[in-house]
């Protein structure tokens, strides 16, 4: 039976193991950290410490792309997530009240999102994968490098830090943002093309809460989220599983005044002042269940090892293949889609064609989202910087979705569906925003304002709220 080694046992690695096992391969997952603790799911979120995955304590979500992938490829995983209290959201219920084209349309069934913490998804994946007879998970194992053929053109396995040589014709790099494959190849003397990178310009602060009742206290105005990306910061809320939700506040790196969001009082003050979030934070509605977790946003990156592989048999997935700003919530869904797409590609092609075919698939899947994140972040960084530092606002980047699309979506159901399909990862920006009929509908939509729920407090008012929360004069 062919063997695949998956290096990294988090979301992308576990999804790859599940997908590859489904094609008849024997799979060995090599994970450097300890296994998750046993026990009831509700008890494990605080007990499972993840020093190698700092982003595990940040807000995550599963977009429609991820839900569709699980529905069609791993329905048992989706069923277990729902059983664990992860709600499915029919996003068409958020269609603006005044919008046209309200009748259900073809494609609406795909506009579904899942409220789920990353830890819950990872635990369900782990328990599903470890039960498969074709999969072995080895913890406490760190890969030091690759075993290559004599001509250094193809993979023959890996070498671990304890000197073990593990043979395989397929090695999946699921090492996350550290993307270890580049280092392995460099150590082996194999040149690698430069990655595509661009700054995300984000520093994130996340806190988790639990609702005191089963009803949602406010509308979800941004697909499966509440809040928005404003003119100098972001405030976004994602419902989670088991009656939880997470609030993520995003700021510009170097915005020293908002760096105080790491403190719970300051975080609460800004979150309560953020349109769309206020109702969720009433003391009678919810209670915090975590401290504030701060993290620096990674740069957007499209890895050359994924789309221009220098050796055969090496396949980066998830963040080891592509990183997009976590503000857009695409990471886990793209990882799931890539994992199952990779397994399909390997099964459909002879050995000599697999690497090239997998690279082409990765490029088609990932490049549009890297380019979109790079473009939108470039425009947002310029806008946020102007407000934070008191400069003139830069001209709007016409390559980014602008306020006219948001305004048109509030009036036109077809525009709303197109925008939602992009936000949920079902269609690429070019497929929707570049369509002539879509552009025409945006141009012809009534000239209304962006919905009031997206209005933001002026920066000085937000800073006064911060000072008041810290006990200073308001």
Q: Would you say residue 453 has pLDDT above 50?
A: no
CB atoms within 10 A of CB 118: 24
pLDDT digits (tens, 9 = 90+) for 414-429: 999 999 999 999 999 9
pLDDT digits (tens, 9 = 90+) for 356-374: 999 999 999 999 999 999 9
User: What are the structure tokens assigned to 241, written together?
Assistant: 């599983």
Q: Would you say residue 244 has pLDDT above 60?
A: yes
Distance between CA 321 and CA 306 in Å, rounded?
5
What was the pLDDT predicted at 89?
95
What was the pLDDT predicted at 402?
62
The separation between CA 448 and the C-alpha centre of its own chain, rounded to angstroms, equals 31
| 204, 79 contact by CB (below 8 A) | no
Residue 32 has φ and ψ, to the nearest 5°, of -80, -20
| 179, 305 contact by CB (below 8 A) | yes
Distance between CA 55 and CA 319 in Å, rounded?
12
Region 246-259 average pLDDT? 94
What was the pLDDT predicted at 113?
96
Locate tokens 């099964």: which residue?
347
Region 98-120 average pLDDT? 93
Q: Collapsing DSSP states into helix, strand and coil, what is residue 401?
A: coil
User: What are the structure tokens assigned to 135, written together?
Assistant: 């999969």
Distance between CA 391 and CA 65 in Å, rounded?
38
Distance between CA 208 and CA 358 in Å, rounded?
37
- 203 - beta bridge partners? 251, 296
pLDDT digits (tens, 9 = 90+) for 279-325: 999 999 999 999 999 989 899 999 999 999 999 999 999 999 999 99
Q: Would you say residue 394 has pLDDT above 70?
A: no
CA atoms within 13 A on the CB side of 15: 32
What was the pLDDT predicted at 202?
95
Angle between helices 118-130 and 75-83 (to 10 degrees): 130
Residue 147 has φ and ψ, to the nearest 5°, of -100, 125
What was the pLDDT predicted at 451?
53
Distance between CA 220 and CA 227 in Å, rounded?
8
What was the pLDDT predicted at 117?
93
Which ranges of 33-180 would DSSP assign to H, the alpha helix? 41-47, 64-73, 75-83, 118-130
User: What are the structure tokens assigned to 86, written together?
Assistant: 């992860």
* Angle ∠(335,216,113) on CA atoms, nearest 5: 20
What was the pLDDT predicted at 423?
93
What was the pLDDT predicted at 403?
67
Q: How confident is the model at residue 398 (pLDDT cuts 50, 70, 90)?
A: very low
| 46, 151 contact by CB (below 8 A) | no
Distance between CA 55 and CA 294 in Å, rounded?
9
Distance between CA 313 and CA 169 in Å, rounded?
6
What was the pLDDT predicted at 326?
92
| 185, 153 contact by CB (below 8 A) | no
Output the furthest CA–CA distance in the chain (Å, rounded): 71
408 contacts: CB under 8 Å, gap ≥ 6: 415, 441, 442, 445
What was the pLDDT predicted at 452?
46
Distance between CA 82 and CA 79 in Å, rounded?
5
Distance between CA 135 and CA 138 in Å, rounded?
10
Label residue 209 left, alpha or beta by phi (over 0 means left) and psi (-120 to 50 means alpha).
Answer: beta
The alpha-carbon radius of gyration of the chain (Å, integer) is: 23
Label residue 282 left, alpha or beta by phi (over 0 means left) and psi (-120 to 50 means alpha).
Answer: beta
Question: Minimal CA–CA distance to 272: which of 264, 257, 215?
Answer: 264
Region 155-159 average pLDDT? 97
pLDDT digits (tens, 9 = 90+) for 183-226: 999 999 999 999 999 999 999 999 999 999 988 898 888 878 99
Residue 23 has φ and ψ, to the nearest 5°, of -100, 5
Give the DSSP letter of residue 34: P
What was the pLDDT predicted at 474?
40
Which ranges of 324-350 would DSSP assign to H, the alpha helix? 331-348
Question: What's the chain's average pLDDT?
Answer: 91
The pTM of the full predicted model, rounded to 2 decimals, is: 0.94
- 28 - beta bridge partners? 5, 136
Region 32-53 average pLDDT? 79
Strand pairing report for 26-31 and 135-139: parallel
283 contacts: CB under 8 Å, gap ≥ 6: none
* Angle ∠(273,275,277) on CA atoms, nearest 5: 80
Region 240-262 average pLDDT? 94
Q: Would you say residue 399 has pLDDT above 90?
A: no
Q: Would you say residue 467 has pLDDT above 90?
A: no
Strand pairing report for 88-90 and 112-114: antiparallel
């Amino acid at each position: 039976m062919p063997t695949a080694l998956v290096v990294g046992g988090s979301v992308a690695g576990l999804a790859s193991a599940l997908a590859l096992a489904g094609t008849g391969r024997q799979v060995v997952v090599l994970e450097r950290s300890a296994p998750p603790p046993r026990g009831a799911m509700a008890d494990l979120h605080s007990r499972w410490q993840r020093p190698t995955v700092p982003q595990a304590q940040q807000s995550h979500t599963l977009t429609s792309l991820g839900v569709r992938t699980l529905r069609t490829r791993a329905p048992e995983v989706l069923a277990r997530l729902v059983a664990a209290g992860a709600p499915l959201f029919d996003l068409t219920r958020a269609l603006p009240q005044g919008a046209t084209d309200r009748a259900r349309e073809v494609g609406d069934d795909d506009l579904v999102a899942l409220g789920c913490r990353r830890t819950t998804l990872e635990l369900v994946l782990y328990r599903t994968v470890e039960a498969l007879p074709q999969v072995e998970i080895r913890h406490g194992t760190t890969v030091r490098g690759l075993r290559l053929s004599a001509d250094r053109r193809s993979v023959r396995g890996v070498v671990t830090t304890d000197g073990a040589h593990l043979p395989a014709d397929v090695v999946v790099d699921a090492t996350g943002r550290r993307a270890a494959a580049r280092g392995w190849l460099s150590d082996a003397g194999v040149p690698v093309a430069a990655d595509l990178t661009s700054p995300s310009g984000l520093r994130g602060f996340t806190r988790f809460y639990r609702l005191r009742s089963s009803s949602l206290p406010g509308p979800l105005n941004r697909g499966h989220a509440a809040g928005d990306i404003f003119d100098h910061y972001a405030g976004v809320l994602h419902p989670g599983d088991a009656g939880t939700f997470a609030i993520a506040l995003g700021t510009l790196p170097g915005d020293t005044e908002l760096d105080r969001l790491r403190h719970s009082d300051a975080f609460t003050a800004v979150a309560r002042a953020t349109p769309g979030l206020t109702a969720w934070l009433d003391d009678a509605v919810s209670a915090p269940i975590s401290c504030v977790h701060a993290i620096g946003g990674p740069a957007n990156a499209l890895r050359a090892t994924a789309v221009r592989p220098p050796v055969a048999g090496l396949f980066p997935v998830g963040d080891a293949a592509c990183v997009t700003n976590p503000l857009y919530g695409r990471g886990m869904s793209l990882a799931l889609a890539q994992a199952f797409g990779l397994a399909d590609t390997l099964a459909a092609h002879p050995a000599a064609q697999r690497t090239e075919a997998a690279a082409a698939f990765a490029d088609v899947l990932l490049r549009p989202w890297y380019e979109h994140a790079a473009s939108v972040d470039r425009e947002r960084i310029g806008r946020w910087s102007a407000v934070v530092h008191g400069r003139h606002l830069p001209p709007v980047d016409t390559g980014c979705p602008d306020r006219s699309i948001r305004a048109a979506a509030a009036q036109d159901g077809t525009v709303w569906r197109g925008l939602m399909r992009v936000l949920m990862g079902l269609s690429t920006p070019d497929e929707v925003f570049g369509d002539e009929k879509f552009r025409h509908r945006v141009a012809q939509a009534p000239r209304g304002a962006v919905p009031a729920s997206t209005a933001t407090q002026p920066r000085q008012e937000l800073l006064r709220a911060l000072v008041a929360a810290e006990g200073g004069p308001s």
